[in-house]
Structure 1
Amino acid sequence: MDGMNEADVSSVGALGDFLRSRRARLSPEAAGIVSYGARRVPGLRREELAQLAGISATYYTRLEQGQSTNASESVVDAIARALGLDEDERTHLHDLAKPAPRVRRRPSRPEAARASTVRLIDAMTDVPAVVMGRRTEVLAWNRLGHALLAGHYDFTAPGRPADRPNMTRMLFLDCHTRELYARWDEEAARAVASLRLVAGRFREDRALAGLVGELTLGSDEFAALWSEHPVLDCLCGTKHFRHPEVGDLELGFEMLHLAQDTGQRILTFTAAPGTGSEAALRLLAARTAAARTTSPANAHDAPSVAANRLTVP
Protein backbone atom coordinates (compact mmCIF):
# COMPACT_ATOMS: atom_id res chain seq x y z
CA MET A 1 0.00 0.00 0.00
CA ASP A 2 2.29 2.70 -1.32
CA GLY A 3 1.96 6.17 0.14
CA MET A 4 0.48 5.00 3.44
CA ASN A 5 2.18 5.87 6.71
CA GLU A 6 2.53 3.51 9.65
CA ALA A 7 -0.60 4.79 11.39
CA ASP A 8 -2.62 4.27 8.20
CA VAL A 9 -1.55 0.64 8.02
CA SER A 10 -2.42 0.01 11.67
CA SER A 11 -5.95 1.41 11.24
CA VAL A 12 -6.86 -0.32 7.97
CA GLY A 13 -7.78 -3.55 9.74
CA ALA A 14 -10.02 -1.71 12.20
CA LEU A 15 -11.97 -0.04 9.38
CA GLY A 16 -12.47 -3.32 7.52
CA ASP A 17 -13.40 -5.18 10.70
CA PHE A 18 -15.95 -2.54 11.62
CA LEU A 19 -17.56 -2.49 8.18
CA ARG A 20 -17.74 -6.29 8.05
CA SER A 21 -19.22 -6.52 11.54
CA ARG A 22 -21.98 -4.05 10.73
CA ARG A 23 -22.62 -5.56 7.30
CA ALA A 24 -23.00 -8.99 8.91
CA ARG A 25 -25.68 -7.83 11.32
CA LEU A 26 -27.90 -6.27 8.60
CA SER A 27 -30.21 -8.84 7.00
CA PRO A 28 -31.36 -8.50 3.38
CA GLU A 29 -34.96 -8.40 4.61
CA ALA A 30 -34.27 -5.49 6.95
CA ALA A 31 -32.49 -3.66 4.15
CA GLY A 32 -35.36 -4.25 1.72
CA ILE A 33 -33.33 -6.48 -0.59
CA VAL A 34 -34.75 -9.59 -2.23
CA SER A 35 -32.39 -12.46 -1.47
CA TYR A 36 -31.79 -15.29 -3.91
CA GLY A 37 -30.01 -18.54 -3.12
CA ALA A 38 -28.07 -19.68 -0.09
CA ARG A 39 -25.70 -17.32 1.70
CA ARG A 40 -22.33 -18.45 2.97
CA VAL A 41 -22.10 -15.60 5.50
CA PRO A 42 -24.74 -13.68 7.48
CA GLY A 43 -25.85 -10.23 6.50
CA LEU A 44 -25.47 -8.27 3.30
CA ARG A 45 -23.01 -8.99 0.55
CA ARG A 46 -20.55 -6.26 -0.37
CA GLU A 47 -22.25 -5.54 -3.67
CA GLU A 48 -25.62 -5.25 -1.95
CA LEU A 49 -24.34 -2.73 0.56
CA ALA A 50 -22.62 -0.78 -2.21
CA GLN A 51 -25.92 -0.65 -4.09
CA LEU A 52 -27.73 0.68 -1.03
CA ALA A 53 -25.02 3.30 -0.51
CA GLY A 54 -25.05 4.35 -4.16
CA ILE A 55 -21.38 3.58 -4.79
CA SER A 56 -19.64 1.02 -6.96
CA ALA A 57 -19.06 -2.46 -5.57
CA THR A 58 -15.42 -2.23 -6.62
CA TYR A 59 -14.87 0.98 -4.68
CA TYR A 60 -16.59 -0.35 -1.56
CA THR A 61 -14.52 -3.54 -1.71
CA ARG A 62 -11.31 -1.50 -1.95
CA LEU A 63 -12.42 0.55 1.04
CA GLU A 64 -13.24 -2.50 3.17
CA GLN A 65 -9.98 -4.19 2.21
CA GLY A 66 -7.91 -1.13 3.07
CA GLN A 67 -6.86 -0.35 -0.50
CA SER A 68 -8.45 3.12 -0.36
CA THR A 69 -7.92 5.51 2.55
CA ASN A 70 -9.34 8.76 1.23
CA ALA A 71 -13.10 8.27 1.16
CA SER A 72 -15.05 11.53 1.09
CA GLU A 73 -17.37 12.45 3.93
CA SER A 74 -20.35 12.07 1.61
CA VAL A 75 -19.36 8.49 0.76
CA VAL A 76 -18.84 7.64 4.43
CA ASP A 77 -22.23 9.17 5.27
CA ALA A 78 -23.86 7.11 2.50
CA ILE A 79 -22.33 3.90 3.86
CA ALA A 80 -23.40 4.83 7.40
CA ARG A 81 -26.98 5.36 6.24
CA ALA A 82 -26.99 2.08 4.33
CA LEU A 83 -25.74 0.24 7.43
CA GLY A 84 -28.24 1.98 9.71
CA LEU A 85 -25.53 3.17 12.08
CA ASP A 86 -26.38 5.12 15.22
CA GLU A 87 -24.68 8.41 16.09
CA ASP A 88 -21.75 6.85 17.97
CA GLU A 89 -21.14 4.28 15.24
CA ARG A 90 -21.31 6.97 12.56
CA THR A 91 -18.72 9.05 14.42
CA HIS A 92 -16.51 5.99 14.77
CA LEU A 93 -16.78 5.19 11.05
CA HIS A 94 -15.73 8.72 10.14
CA ASP A 95 -12.76 8.48 12.53
CA LEU A 96 -11.61 5.19 10.99
CA ALA A 97 -12.07 6.42 7.41
CA LYS A 98 -9.95 9.56 7.88
CA PRO A 99 -6.29 9.49 6.84
CA ALA A 100 -4.36 8.93 10.05
CA PRO A 101 -1.95 11.60 11.27
CA ARG A 102 1.75 10.95 11.02
CA VAL A 103 3.21 8.94 13.89
CA ARG A 104 5.57 11.00 15.99
CA ARG A 105 8.96 9.37 16.29
CA ARG A 106 10.01 11.13 19.49
CA PRO A 107 8.54 9.74 22.71
CA SER A 108 5.67 11.75 24.11
CA ARG A 109 5.56 12.95 27.69
CA PRO A 110 3.28 11.06 30.10
CA GLU A 111 -0.18 12.53 30.45
CA ALA A 112 -0.91 14.59 33.52
CA ALA A 113 -4.01 16.20 34.96
CA ARG A 114 -3.96 19.97 35.26
CA ALA A 115 -3.45 21.25 38.79
CA SER A 116 -6.76 23.13 38.58
CA THR A 117 -8.56 19.91 37.64
CA VAL A 118 -7.06 18.10 40.62
CA ARG A 119 -8.13 20.95 42.90
CA LEU A 120 -11.64 20.70 41.46
CA ILE A 121 -12.09 17.02 42.26
CA ASP A 122 -10.46 17.47 45.69
CA ALA A 123 -13.13 20.06 46.49
CA MET A 124 -15.84 17.49 45.69
CA THR A 125 -15.59 15.84 49.10
CA ASP A 126 -19.02 14.16 48.92
CA VAL A 127 -18.73 13.04 45.28
CA PRO A 128 -16.40 10.22 44.15
CA ALA A 129 -14.40 11.61 41.23
CA VAL A 130 -11.62 10.34 38.98
CA VAL A 131 -9.62 12.09 36.25
CA MET A 132 -8.91 9.63 33.44
CA GLY A 133 -6.61 9.95 30.46
CA ARG A 134 -7.57 8.86 26.98
CA ARG A 135 -6.32 5.31 27.66
CA THR A 136 -8.48 5.10 30.82
CA GLU A 137 -5.43 5.49 33.05
CA VAL A 138 -6.08 7.23 36.36
CA LEU A 139 -4.40 10.64 36.32
CA ALA A 140 -5.90 11.68 39.67
CA TRP A 141 -8.70 10.75 42.03
CA ASN A 142 -10.14 12.33 45.11
CA ARG A 143 -10.28 10.48 48.42
CA LEU A 144 -13.83 9.25 47.96
CA GLY A 145 -13.22 8.17 44.37
CA HIS A 146 -10.23 6.14 45.49
CA ALA A 147 -12.17 4.61 48.39
CA LEU A 148 -15.07 3.65 46.11
CA LEU A 149 -13.14 2.20 43.17
CA ALA A 150 -9.72 1.11 44.34
CA GLY A 151 -9.08 1.20 48.07
CA HIS A 152 -6.63 -1.69 47.63
CA TYR A 153 -4.36 0.51 45.46
CA ASP A 154 -1.85 3.06 46.70
CA PHE A 155 -3.61 6.43 46.71
CA THR A 156 -0.53 8.16 45.28
CA ALA A 157 -0.13 5.75 42.35
CA PRO A 158 -1.74 8.07 39.76
CA GLY A 159 1.17 10.46 40.25
CA ARG A 160 3.66 7.82 39.08
CA PRO A 161 3.30 7.19 35.31
CA ALA A 162 5.24 3.94 35.51
CA ASP A 163 2.67 2.20 37.72
CA ARG A 164 -0.46 4.36 37.67
CA PRO A 165 -3.72 2.38 37.70
CA ASN A 166 -5.74 1.87 34.54
CA MET A 167 -9.50 1.48 34.83
CA THR A 168 -9.86 -0.99 31.96
CA ARG A 169 -6.86 -3.07 33.00
CA MET A 170 -8.22 -3.21 36.54
CA LEU A 171 -11.63 -4.30 35.30
CA PHE A 172 -10.32 -7.26 33.33
CA LEU A 173 -7.11 -8.26 35.13
CA ASP A 174 -7.61 -7.34 38.81
CA CYS A 175 -9.73 -9.79 40.80
CA HIS A 176 -10.63 -7.21 43.47
CA THR A 177 -12.03 -4.83 40.86
CA ARG A 178 -13.98 -7.66 39.23
CA GLU A 179 -15.61 -8.42 42.59
CA LEU A 180 -16.48 -4.75 43.06
CA TYR A 181 -18.95 -4.68 40.16
CA ALA A 182 -22.21 -6.51 40.84
CA ARG A 183 -22.93 -6.55 37.10
CA TRP A 184 -19.45 -7.18 35.80
CA ASP A 185 -20.55 -8.38 32.34
CA GLU A 186 -22.47 -5.15 31.78
CA GLU A 187 -19.54 -3.07 32.95
CA ALA A 188 -17.07 -4.99 30.78
CA ALA A 189 -19.18 -4.55 27.64
CA ARG A 190 -19.50 -0.82 28.33
CA ALA A 191 -15.77 -0.41 28.92
CA VAL A 192 -14.79 -2.16 25.68
CA ALA A 193 -17.34 -0.20 23.63
CA SER A 194 -16.00 3.06 25.03
CA LEU A 195 -12.37 2.07 24.45
CA ARG A 196 -13.20 1.17 20.83
CA LEU A 197 -14.49 4.68 20.23
CA VAL A 198 -11.36 6.22 21.73
CA ALA A 199 -9.08 3.88 19.76
CA GLY A 200 -10.71 5.00 16.53
CA ARG A 201 -10.28 8.65 17.43
CA PHE A 202 -6.62 8.34 18.50
CA ARG A 203 -5.32 5.80 16.00
CA GLU A 204 -1.75 7.10 16.20
CA ASP A 205 -1.51 6.38 19.95
CA ARG A 206 0.95 3.49 20.28
CA ALA A 207 0.47 3.20 24.04
CA LEU A 208 -3.27 2.80 23.52
CA ALA A 209 -2.64 0.09 20.93
CA GLY A 210 -0.28 -1.54 23.40
CA LEU A 211 -2.98 -1.56 26.09
CA VAL A 212 -5.42 -3.24 23.69
CA GLY A 213 -2.77 -5.83 22.83
CA GLU A 214 -2.02 -6.50 26.49
CA LEU A 215 -5.68 -6.97 27.35
CA THR A 216 -6.34 -9.12 24.30
CA LEU A 217 -3.56 -11.50 25.34
CA GLY A 218 -4.34 -11.35 29.05
CA SER A 219 -8.12 -11.73 28.98
CA ASP A 220 -10.17 -14.03 26.76
CA GLU A 221 -13.24 -12.05 27.79
CA PHE A 222 -11.73 -8.80 26.58
CA ALA A 223 -10.60 -10.43 23.32
CA ALA A 224 -14.09 -11.79 22.64
CA LEU A 225 -15.75 -8.43 23.29
CA TRP A 226 -13.16 -6.52 21.27
CA SER A 227 -13.63 -8.79 18.25
CA GLU A 228 -17.32 -7.81 18.12
CA HIS A 229 -16.28 -4.18 17.54
CA PRO A 230 -18.84 -2.55 19.90
CA VAL A 231 -18.97 1.24 19.89
CA LEU A 232 -20.57 3.44 22.54
CA ASP A 233 -19.82 6.88 23.95
CA CYS A 234 -20.60 6.23 27.62
CA LEU A 235 -21.39 9.68 28.97
CA CYS A 236 -23.84 8.71 31.69
CA GLY A 237 -25.65 5.76 33.17
CA THR A 238 -25.84 3.56 36.24
CA LYS A 239 -23.23 1.34 37.84
CA HIS A 240 -23.92 -1.31 40.48
CA PHE A 241 -21.28 -1.91 43.13
CA ARG A 242 -20.77 -4.55 45.78
CA HIS A 243 -18.37 -2.61 47.99
CA PRO A 244 -16.32 -4.54 50.57
CA GLU A 245 -16.84 -1.87 53.26
CA VAL A 246 -20.35 -0.43 52.80
CA GLY A 247 -22.19 -3.07 50.78
CA ASP A 248 -24.33 -2.64 47.67
CA LEU A 249 -24.59 0.71 45.90
CA GLU A 250 -26.46 1.81 42.80
CA LEU A 251 -24.82 5.02 41.58
CA GLY A 252 -25.40 7.25 38.61
CA PHE A 253 -22.26 8.25 36.75
CA GLU A 254 -21.41 11.21 34.55
CA MET A 255 -18.43 11.41 32.20
CA LEU A 256 -17.30 15.01 31.71
CA HIS A 257 -14.93 15.60 28.79
CA LEU A 258 -12.26 18.22 29.40
CA ALA A 259 -11.35 20.89 26.88
CA GLN A 260 -8.41 20.97 24.42
CA ASP A 261 -9.22 17.65 22.75
CA THR A 262 -6.84 15.65 24.98
CA GLY A 263 -9.22 12.78 25.59
CA GLN A 264 -9.09 13.44 29.33
CA ARG A 265 -12.33 13.01 31.27
CA ILE A 266 -13.69 13.41 34.79
CA LEU A 267 -15.79 10.49 36.02
CA THR A 268 -18.19 11.30 38.88
CA PHE A 269 -20.71 9.26 40.87
CA THR A 270 -23.87 10.27 42.74
CA ALA A 271 -26.68 8.45 44.54
CA ALA A 272 -30.39 9.16 44.33
CA PRO A 273 -31.61 11.09 47.40
CA GLY A 274 -33.24 9.09 50.15
CA THR A 275 -31.93 5.72 48.98
CA GLY A 276 -29.84 3.11 50.70
CA SER A 277 -27.10 3.87 48.19
CA GLU A 278 -27.02 7.48 49.37
CA ALA A 279 -26.67 6.29 52.97
CA ALA A 280 -23.90 3.88 52.01
CA LEU A 281 -22.04 6.57 50.07
CA ARG A 282 -22.30 8.95 53.03
CA LEU A 283 -20.93 6.23 55.30
CA LEU A 284 -18.00 5.67 52.95
CA ALA A 285 -17.36 9.42 52.82
CA ALA A 286 -17.42 9.64 56.63
CA ARG A 287 -14.97 6.75 56.95
CA THR A 288 -12.70 8.27 54.33
CA ALA A 289 -12.73 11.65 56.06
CA ALA A 290 -12.01 10.01 59.42
CA ALA A 291 -9.09 8.09 57.96
CA ARG A 292 -7.70 11.27 56.44
CA THR A 293 -7.74 13.13 59.76
CA THR A 294 -5.54 10.45 61.28
CA SER A 295 -2.87 11.04 58.64
CA PRO A 296 -0.45 14.00 58.86
CA ALA A 297 -0.19 14.17 55.06
CA ASN A 298 -2.46 16.01 52.66
CA ALA A 299 -4.67 14.43 50.00
CA HIS A 300 -2.04 13.90 47.35
CA ASP A 301 1.14 12.91 49.11
CA ALA A 302 0.22 9.80 51.10
CA PRO A 303 -1.85 6.65 50.65
CA SER A 304 -5.16 6.34 52.45
CA VAL A 305 -5.76 3.93 55.31
CA ALA A 306 -7.73 1.72 52.92
CA ALA A 307 -4.70 1.48 50.67
CA ASN A 308 -2.75 -0.26 53.42
CA ARG A 309 -4.87 -3.39 52.96
CA LEU A 310 -3.13 -4.30 49.72
CA THR A 311 -0.86 -2.44 47.33
CA VAL A 312 -1.12 -3.61 43.72
CA PRO A 313 1.85 -2.87 41.45
Structure 2
Amino acid sequence: MAPHRNAELGAFLRSRRTVGLCRDDVARSAGVSPDYYTRIERGEVDYFADAVLDSIARALELDETEHLHMLRLARPRTAEQRMADDEEPVRDSLRLLVESNTVQSVILVGRHADLLAVNRIGRALLGLSPGERVNLARLMFLEPATKELLVDWKSEALTAVARLRAAAGFDPGDRELGALIRDLCVKSDDFARIWATHPVTDRPASVLEYRHPVAGRLTLHSETLTLPGDPGRLLVIGTAPANSRSAERLRLLGTPPA
Protein backbone atom coordinates (compact mmCIF):
# COMPACT_ATOMS: atom_id res chain seq x y z
CA MET A 1 0.00 0.00 0.00
CA ALA A 2 1.37 3.43 -0.97
CA PRO A 3 2.07 5.81 1.92
CA HIS A 4 -0.41 8.61 2.52
CA ARG A 5 0.52 12.03 1.19
CA ASN A 6 1.03 13.46 4.66
CA ALA A 7 2.58 10.38 6.27
CA GLU A 8 5.68 12.39 7.19
CA LEU A 9 3.56 14.96 9.03
CA GLY A 10 1.83 12.18 10.94
CA ALA A 11 5.16 10.59 11.90
CA PHE A 12 6.46 13.94 13.14
CA LEU A 13 3.37 14.58 15.28
CA ARG A 14 3.62 11.10 16.79
CA SER A 15 7.28 11.71 17.63
CA ARG A 16 6.31 14.85 19.57
CA ARG A 17 3.74 13.18 21.80
CA THR A 18 5.39 12.77 25.19
CA VAL A 19 5.07 9.57 27.19
CA GLY A 20 1.56 9.32 28.61
CA LEU A 21 0.07 11.85 26.15
CA CYS A 22 -2.43 9.95 24.00
CA ARG A 23 -4.12 11.08 20.79
CA ASP A 24 -7.36 11.87 22.62
CA ASP A 25 -5.46 14.20 24.96
CA VAL A 26 -3.97 16.10 22.03
CA ALA A 27 -7.32 16.27 20.25
CA ARG A 28 -9.05 17.59 23.36
CA SER A 29 -6.38 20.26 23.94
CA ALA A 30 -6.43 21.27 20.27
CA GLY A 31 -10.23 21.47 20.16
CA VAL A 32 -10.70 18.87 17.41
CA SER A 33 -12.39 15.48 17.41
CA PRO A 34 -10.31 12.40 18.32
CA ASP A 35 -11.23 10.81 14.99
CA TYR A 36 -10.00 13.85 13.02
CA TYR A 37 -6.72 14.03 14.92
CA THR A 38 -6.20 10.27 14.48
CA ARG A 39 -6.60 10.74 10.72
CA ILE A 40 -4.02 13.55 10.80
CA GLU A 41 -1.48 11.32 12.59
CA ARG A 42 -2.15 8.63 9.99
CA GLY A 43 -1.41 11.10 7.18
CA GLU A 44 -4.95 10.91 5.81
CA VAL A 45 -5.79 14.64 5.87
CA ASP A 46 -4.75 16.83 2.93
CA TYR A 47 -6.04 20.27 3.95
CA PHE A 48 -5.42 22.04 7.24
CA ALA A 49 -6.86 25.31 8.50
CA ASP A 50 -4.29 27.62 10.10
CA ALA A 51 -6.23 27.61 13.38
CA VAL A 52 -6.14 23.80 13.54
CA LEU A 53 -2.39 23.63 12.97
CA ASP A 54 -1.74 26.33 15.56
CA SER A 55 -3.95 24.53 18.09
CA ILE A 56 -2.12 21.24 17.54
CA ALA A 57 1.23 23.02 17.97
CA ARG A 58 0.07 24.42 21.30
CA ALA A 59 -1.32 21.07 22.43
CA LEU A 60 2.01 19.37 21.70
CA GLU A 61 3.96 22.32 23.15
CA LEU A 62 6.05 22.66 19.99
CA ASP A 63 8.77 25.28 19.99
CA GLU A 64 9.05 27.84 17.17
CA THR A 65 11.32 25.67 15.01
CA GLU A 66 9.15 22.58 15.45
CA HIS A 67 6.02 24.61 14.68
CA LEU A 68 7.57 25.91 11.44
CA HIS A 69 8.61 22.38 10.46
CA MET A 70 5.06 21.16 11.04
CA LEU A 71 3.67 23.93 8.81
CA ARG A 72 6.09 23.03 6.03
CA LEU A 73 5.12 19.37 6.22
CA ALA A 74 1.44 20.32 6.04
CA ARG A 75 1.99 22.60 3.02
CA PRO A 76 4.81 21.19 0.85
CA ARG A 77 6.21 23.11 -2.10
CA THR A 78 4.75 22.71 -5.55
CA ALA A 79 6.70 21.34 -8.52
CA GLU A 80 6.82 24.83 -10.01
CA GLN A 81 8.41 26.28 -6.87
CA ARG A 82 10.96 23.47 -6.82
CA MET A 83 11.98 24.04 -10.44
CA ALA A 84 12.41 27.78 -9.88
CA ASP A 85 14.77 27.18 -6.93
CA ASP A 86 16.76 24.42 -8.63
CA GLU A 87 17.58 26.72 -11.54
CA GLU A 88 19.33 29.24 -9.26
CA PRO A 89 23.15 28.82 -9.46
CA VAL A 90 25.65 30.04 -6.89
CA ARG A 91 26.10 33.71 -7.67
CA ASP A 92 29.62 34.88 -8.53
CA SER A 93 29.38 37.59 -5.88
CA LEU A 94 28.47 35.01 -3.23
CA ARG A 95 31.27 32.67 -4.25
CA LEU A 96 33.73 35.57 -4.13
CA LEU A 97 32.48 36.54 -0.67
CA VAL A 98 33.23 33.03 0.59
CA GLU A 99 36.55 32.42 -1.13
CA SER A 100 38.11 35.83 -0.45
CA ASN A 101 37.85 35.59 3.35
CA THR A 102 41.34 34.98 4.78
CA VAL A 103 40.72 35.18 8.55
CA GLN A 104 37.69 32.94 9.16
CA SER A 105 36.47 29.54 8.12
CA VAL A 106 33.64 30.09 5.61
CA ILE A 107 31.57 27.46 3.83
CA LEU A 108 28.40 27.65 1.73
CA VAL A 109 26.15 24.62 2.15
CA GLY A 110 23.28 23.61 -0.14
CA ARG A 111 19.97 22.15 0.97
CA HIS A 112 21.25 18.64 0.16
CA ALA A 113 24.26 19.31 2.45
CA ASP A 114 26.55 19.68 -0.58
CA LEU A 115 29.56 21.94 -0.16
CA LEU A 116 28.89 24.67 -2.73
CA ALA A 117 31.79 27.00 -1.90
CA VAL A 118 34.59 27.13 0.67
CA ASN A 119 37.57 29.33 1.43
CA ARG A 120 41.15 28.13 2.00
CA ILE A 121 40.79 27.98 5.79
CA GLY A 122 37.53 26.04 5.62
CA ARG A 123 39.05 23.56 3.18
CA ALA A 124 42.10 23.01 5.37
CA LEU A 125 39.95 22.68 8.48
CA LEU A 126 37.89 19.92 6.86
CA GLY A 127 40.95 18.25 5.34
CA LEU A 128 39.79 18.71 1.74
CA SER A 129 41.97 18.89 -1.35
CA PRO A 130 41.73 21.98 -3.59
CA GLY A 131 38.69 21.68 -5.82
CA GLU A 132 37.32 18.65 -3.95
CA ARG A 133 33.51 18.61 -3.86
CA VAL A 134 31.89 16.74 -1.00
CA ASN A 135 28.58 16.20 0.70
CA LEU A 136 28.93 17.30 4.30
CA ALA A 137 26.33 14.82 5.59
CA ARG A 138 28.27 11.95 4.03
CA LEU A 139 31.46 13.41 5.45
CA MET A 140 29.87 13.58 8.90
CA PHE A 141 28.52 10.02 9.01
CA LEU A 142 30.63 7.96 6.61
CA GLU A 143 34.15 9.29 7.21
CA PRO A 144 35.73 8.12 10.50
CA ALA A 145 38.17 11.06 10.39
CA THR A 146 35.29 13.48 11.02
CA LYS A 147 34.55 11.84 14.38
CA GLU A 148 38.18 12.41 15.31
CA LEU A 149 38.11 16.01 14.07
CA LEU A 150 35.00 17.13 16.00
CA VAL A 151 35.34 16.95 19.77
CA ASP A 152 31.55 16.99 20.26
CA TRP A 153 30.70 14.90 17.22
CA LYS A 154 27.36 13.77 18.67
CA SER A 155 26.04 17.32 18.94
CA GLU A 156 27.18 18.24 15.43
CA ALA A 157 25.73 15.01 14.02
CA LEU A 158 22.35 15.87 15.57
CA THR A 159 22.49 19.34 14.00
CA ALA A 160 23.38 17.86 10.60
CA VAL A 161 20.41 15.49 10.68
CA ALA A 162 18.10 18.25 11.92
CA ARG A 163 19.03 20.38 8.91
CA LEU A 164 18.26 17.53 6.53
CA ARG A 165 14.94 17.02 8.34
CA ALA A 166 14.15 20.69 7.85
CA ALA A 167 15.07 20.45 4.16
CA ALA A 168 12.89 17.36 3.73
CA GLY A 169 10.01 19.16 5.42
CA PHE A 170 10.46 22.14 3.12
CA ASP A 171 10.27 19.91 0.06
CA PRO A 172 9.08 16.32 0.67
CA GLY A 173 9.07 15.74 -3.09
CA ASP A 174 12.82 16.35 -3.50
CA ARG A 175 13.99 13.06 -5.01
CA GLU A 176 17.72 13.81 -4.75
CA LEU A 177 17.38 14.60 -1.06
CA GLY A 178 15.27 11.49 -0.52
CA ALA A 179 17.93 9.33 -2.17
CA LEU A 180 20.63 10.85 0.06
CA ILE A 181 18.62 10.19 3.21
CA ARG A 182 17.84 6.59 2.24
CA ASP A 183 21.50 5.93 1.46
CA LEU A 184 22.67 7.37 4.77
CA CYS A 185 20.06 5.36 6.68
CA VAL A 186 21.44 2.18 5.09
CA LYS A 187 25.13 2.98 5.48
CA SER A 188 25.16 4.67 8.90
CA ASP A 189 23.50 3.28 12.01
CA ASP A 190 24.14 6.61 13.74
CA PHE A 191 22.30 8.51 11.02
CA ALA A 192 19.36 6.09 11.00
CA ARG A 193 19.03 6.28 14.78
CA ILE A 194 19.05 10.09 14.88
CA TRP A 195 16.79 10.41 11.81
CA ALA A 196 14.14 8.26 13.50
CA THR A 197 13.81 10.82 16.31
CA HIS A 198 12.68 13.57 13.87
CA PRO A 199 15.13 16.26 15.10
CA VAL A 200 14.40 19.77 13.80
CA THR A 201 16.36 21.85 16.28
CA ASP A 202 17.64 25.10 14.80
CA ARG A 203 21.06 26.07 16.16
CA PRO A 204 22.28 29.25 14.43
CA ALA A 205 25.21 29.77 16.82
CA SER A 206 27.53 27.35 18.55
CA VAL A 207 31.07 26.90 19.84
CA LEU A 208 32.95 24.16 17.99
CA GLU A 209 35.99 22.30 19.26
CA TYR A 210 38.35 20.69 16.76
CA ARG A 211 41.21 18.21 17.10
CA HIS A 212 42.98 19.08 13.87
CA PRO A 213 45.75 16.67 12.79
CA VAL A 214 47.97 19.58 11.68
CA ALA A 215 46.88 22.69 13.59
CA GLY A 216 46.03 20.97 16.88
CA ARG A 217 43.17 21.96 19.17
CA LEU A 218 41.00 24.84 17.93
CA THR A 219 37.96 26.59 19.39
CA LEU A 220 35.74 28.41 16.88
CA HIS A 221 32.58 30.44 17.37
CA SER A 222 30.25 29.38 14.56
CA GLU A 223 27.39 31.37 13.06
CA THR A 224 24.99 29.85 10.54
CA LEU A 225 23.24 32.40 8.34
CA THR A 226 20.33 31.90 5.97
CA LEU A 227 20.57 33.75 2.67
CA PRO A 228 17.70 35.81 1.22
CA GLY A 229 16.87 34.57 -2.27
CA ASP A 230 18.70 31.25 -1.77
CA PRO A 231 16.19 28.76 -0.27
CA GLY A 232 17.84 26.13 1.89
CA ARG A 233 21.37 27.45 1.49
CA LEU A 234 23.40 28.25 4.58
CA LEU A 235 26.51 30.33 5.10
CA VAL A 236 28.54 28.92 7.99
CA ILE A 237 31.27 31.15 9.44
CA GLY A 238 33.77 30.02 12.06
CA THR A 239 35.68 32.69 13.98
CA ALA A 240 38.43 32.28 16.60
CA PRO A 241 38.60 34.73 19.53
CA ALA A 242 41.00 37.60 18.81
CA ASN A 243 44.62 37.05 19.89
CA SER A 244 43.88 33.49 20.97
CA ARG A 245 45.93 30.41 20.23
CA SER A 246 43.06 29.21 18.03
CA ALA A 247 43.22 32.44 16.00
CA GLU A 248 46.91 31.91 15.33
CA ARG A 249 46.36 28.29 14.35
CA LEU A 250 43.48 29.30 12.09
CA ARG A 251 45.75 31.79 10.31
CA LEU A 252 48.32 29.05 9.79
CA LEU A 253 45.68 26.89 8.12
CA GLY A 254 44.94 29.73 5.73
CA THR A 255 48.58 30.41 4.84
CA PRO A 256 49.43 29.24 1.30
CA PRO A 257 52.31 26.73 1.12
CA ALA A 258 55.69 28.28 0.34
Asked whether the two chains share a fold, i.e. TM above 0.5, the reply is yes
| CA deviation string 1:131-157 (max 9, x = no partner) | 1111110011111110111x2x33213
Which residue matches 1:190?
159
Matches of residues 164-313 of structure 1 in structure 2 within 5 Å?
164-286=133-255, 289=256, 291=257, 294=258
Q: In the TM superposition, what is the alpha-carbon distance from 1:186 to its structure 2 partner?
A: 1.3
Q: In the TM superposition, what is the alpha-carbon distance from 1:173 to its structure 2 partner?
A: 0.3
| CA deviation string 1:9-64 (max 9, x = no partner) | 576222111111111x2xxxxxxxxxxxxxxxx33111111001111111111111
Alpha-carbon distance in 1 for matches of 2:136, 2:111: 11
Which of 50, 66, 69 lines up with 1:73 in the alignment? 50
SS of the equivalent of 1:252 reads strand
Q: In the TM superposition, what is the alpha-carbon distance from 1:282 to its structure 2 partner?
A: 2.1
Asked if 1:62 corresponds to 2:39, the answer is yes
Asked if 1:135 corresponds to 2:135, the answer is no
Question: Normalising by structure 2, what TM-score?
Answer: 0.92
Q: Percent identity?
A: 40
Unaligned runs of 5+ in 1: 26-41, 158-163, 295-313
Unaligned runs of 5+ in 2: none
Alpha-carbon distance in 2 for matches of 1:219, 1:11: 27
Which of 103, 125, 131 lines up with 1:148 in the alignment? 125
Alpha-carbon distance in 2 for matches of 1:53, 1:156: 52
Contact 1:253 1:267 in 2 (8 A): yes
Which of 69, 73, 92 lines up with 1:115 in the alignment? 92
| CA deviation string 1:51-94 (max 9, x = no partner) | 01111111111111111021111100000001111110000011
Asked if 1:89 corresponds to 2:58, the answer is no
- Which one-letter code corresponds to 1:114 in the other structure? R
SS of the equivalent of 1:253 reads strand
Aligned length: 257
SS of the equivalent of 2:198 reads coil
Question: Computing the radius of gyration over CA atoms, which structure comes out larger, 1 or 2?
Answer: 1
